[in-house]
Amino acid sequence: MGKIEDAIQQKEFKDPYNKAVVNLLFTHSYLVTSQNTLFKPHDISPEQYNVLRILRGQNGVPTTVSSIQDRMLNKMSNASRLVEKLKMKDLVKREECPADRRQVDVLITEKGLNLLSLLENQVEEANRNFVKLTLEEANQLNDLLDKLRG
């Protein structure tokens, strides 16, 4: 992909901070497009994949839609809508919460776990191909991104 200047055909930026923001936004878009391509044959989106991973991490313990929403990578995602789409594909199930009938508990199904298992190696390989950095550089990038959000 190369330099951001070449990718968006812009010779210079106002300052390095402006360039960093544009670079992050462009890189985000590039990553999402890459993930969409990876998940499309399995009829799921990156956001649906995120929900499935959250549910797998619950280790069989039901969780609420609001708890899923709190843990989503993309806070603009509508967890209720995503859960409903996953339910229609039999990847999750929703049950009335015994403690509070107004709440709905969400669990990943065996089919959902199988899909995650199938995708695991593909996602890991795609991540390594996307992040063309050494282990040390990847750790440094993670530290810098944590600092940026700090």
Strand partners of residue 63:
106
Q: What is the average pLDDT across 143-147?
A: 95
Contact between 92 and 111 under an 8 Å Cβ cutoff? The reply is no
Could you read off the pLDDT of 39-71 as tens digits, one per residue?
999 999 999 999 999 999 999 999 999 899 999
43-149: which CATH architecture? Orthogonal Bundle (1.10)
Ranges of beta strands (E only) in 1-132 are 63-64, 92-96, 104-108
Proportion of the chain above pLDDT 90, given as a percent: 71
- Banded pLDDT at 1 (limits 50, 70, 90): low
pLDDT in tens, 65-91: 989 999 998 888 899 999 999 999 999
Are 46 and 39 in contact by the 8 Å Cβ rule? The answer is yes
